[in-house]
Amino acid sequence: MARSHESLWLAASAAFTAVAVALLGANATLDVGRAHYTFWTSGLMVIVYVTGVLAIICFAGAMRQWTVPLSGDRPHRGARADPAEAPGQLAEQELAPADLGTAAPGPVITDRWRQTSDGGQVPALMSLTHTVMFHPGYGGRQAQDAPPSVRIGMLVACQPIDPAASGTELRAKFAAFLETEAVMTLIGSLTHVAPGMSWKNLAGNGPRTLEAALTAGDDALEGVPVASALLLPPVAGESLYGRNGRSATLLLYVEPRTADGQVPPASGLEAWYERFGLALAIPGVFAEFLAKDLGLGTSDDPPAQLGVWLQSYHPLTTMVDPQELRTLPGSSPSNWFMGWAFASPDGKPGKETARDLLGQLCEYTLHLDAFEQKLDEISAAEHPQTAVKSTWDHCDLPVLAAVIRLLDETATAQVRVSTVAEACGLSVDEVASAVEALDGTYLTRQKTLGDAGSWVVSRPTGTARRAVGQWPH
């Protein structure tokens, strides 16, 4: 069988890398042996720069499944070379989770989870650790200049997509999926999302790779996106490099920012518990999108999987505030966290799994002592069932009426606390307190990494509309 396009790109990348390393060594030798030798601007170093860039380009070609120019009619990695081969036969054997069962495929499970720290159980999630977004706004930065980031990845088993499917139609459906309430609520809990921002599709690789960026302006490539998303569906007859051949992969990437573009202060454990819970709700929405919007039947073989990665150049306490909890003496500060979970019929609900992930964060990343009671308090906390009576007439009720009016007038799914404050003539703090009291019974409040004015309010209930005299709606 002819070497695949991916193999050719990787071979070229390795060759350019070897040349760059050899020339770098020669340049270093000359620098030691010659006085006044200009190491960084010498002719050899210029060639090192060029070959290094070419090596990166070739590696990107392998990741994005580019066709090698003048290479003839070669398959992508894993595609059948012989038409007599059985349909769906893969050129490479796929890794399967170690102990996730071998029973016949059943309906996809996305509401029961088992948290794990064993990468052998979720090898496909492991490969997402180094998957990069190709938006130019993320390039050209030194490690110390990169802001803290959150990466959320998931896999759902589904039928492969037809490589001849319309990329235009798939991109439109993908952008619409990213605008759904579940996804936007998760993104809004991590970073500031200003009104008018929307998801814009980027150049991927037809139906094989779909990428989108959440931006405010018309130019999707200008600046750093608020968030980025990558969809990697399985493709019929192909086993693409670095990709699970039986599951669709969704990757969300966020560099948290405040409304003024600054890195936000660290959030407490309560906020991260809520965010982990929101992340665990996305695989269910993703499975529905695959089955209903894309027509790709889903299953539990392999089980749905979810991973959360937190990364910071500085210790992770720049993202997670341990508050009153004590760090164990002798512990080394970590600047990253990886949490994984896979679906299982005998697993736990999402909120309990979110607590397990938070426990892993406290124990193995932050090295906190006696955190279990704090986590019990967080997970056991319940929203108040009714608004505080003393503030109902002059604060809570006017805020509730303003929220419903703004949502109806703008025909949007959510509204910011700052916008509500302007509409009802109250301060941001007063509106935030009212929203806290109303959360659950009357509406849904979603905190963000920014100040209270950036919190998101949505989904007024039937009880809320009755309270303000707007029922039926």
Structure tokens at 434: 């009212």
User: Which of 93, 97, 94 is CA-nearest to residue 304?
Assistant: 97
Q: Is the pLDDT of residue 381 over 50?
A: yes
**pLDDT band for position 218 (cuts 50, 70, 90):** confident
pLDDT at position 470: 62
Contact 310, 320 (CB under 8 A): yes
Under DSSP, the state recorded for 256 is: -
Q: Is the pLDDT of residue 388 over 60?
A: no
Long-range contacts of 162-168 (CB under 8 A, 24+ apart): 162/207, 162/236, 163/206, 163/207, 163/208, 163/235, 163/236, 163/237, 163/238, 165/207, 166/207, 167/204, 167/206, 167/207, 167/210
User: Residues near 151 by Cβ (< 8 Å), separated by ≥ 6?
Assistant: 128, 251, 252, 253, 254, 307, 308, 309, 311
Q: Is the pLDDT of residue 96 over 90?
A: no
User: Which of 161, 158, 155, 177 is CA-nearest to residue 107?
Assistant: 158
**Phi and psi at residue 182, in whole multiples of 5°?**
-60, -45
Range list of H helices, 166-310: 167-178, 181-190, 269-288
Contact 467, 425 (CB under 8 A): no
Helix (H, G, I), strand (E, B) or coil at 69: coil
- For the stretch 260-298, pLDDT in tens is 889 999 999 999 999 999 999 999 999 999 999 999 999
Contact 385, 345 (CB under 8 A): no
Helix (H, G, I), strand (E, B) or coil at 311: strand
Tell me the average pLDDT across 89-111. 56
- For the stretch 178-190, pLDDT in tens is 999 999 999 999 9
Class of domain 389-467: mainly alpha
Q: Which residue has better confidence, 57 or 319?
A: 319
Tell me the average pLDDT across 23-47. 77
**C-alpha of 351 from chain center:** 19
Q: Is the pLDDT of residue 386 over 50?
A: no
User: Which of 200, 202, 210, 134 is CA-nearest to residue 165?
Assistant: 210
Structure tokens at 364: 């193995």
**pLDDT band for position 48 (cuts 50, 70, 90):** confident
The strand pairing partners of 230, in sequence order, are 211, 251
Q: Is the pLDDT of residue 64 over 50?
A: yes
The neighbour count for residue 141, using CB atoms within 10 Å, is 11
Q: Which residue has better confidence, 175 or 395?
A: 175
d(CA 107, CA 111): 12
Average pLDDT across the chain, whole number: 82
Q: Cα angle at 204 between 201 and 208, to 5 degrees?
A: 115
pLDDT at position 77: 44
pTM of the model: 0.62
Q: Is the pLDDT of residue 347 over 80?
A: yes
- Among the listed ranges 36-50, 328-342, 380-394, which one has the minimum average pLDDT value? 380-394
The answer, yes or no, to whether the previous bond of 472 is cis (omega within 30 of 0) is yes
**pLDDT band for position 69 (cuts 50, 70, 90):** low
- Among the listed ranges 320-324, 380-384, 448-452, which one has the minimum average pLDDT value? 380-384
Q: Which residue has better confidence, 380 or 291?
A: 291
Tell me the average pLDDT across 247-265. 92
Q: Which residue has better confidence, 225 or 241?
A: 225
Q: Is the pLDDT of residue 35 over 90?
A: no
Structure tokens at 231: 């969809």
d(CA 168, CA 201): 10
pLDDT at position 444: 85
Q: Is the pLDDT of residue 201 over 70?
A: yes
Under DSSP, the state recorded for 93 is: P
**pLDDT band for position 156 (cuts 50, 70, 90):** very high
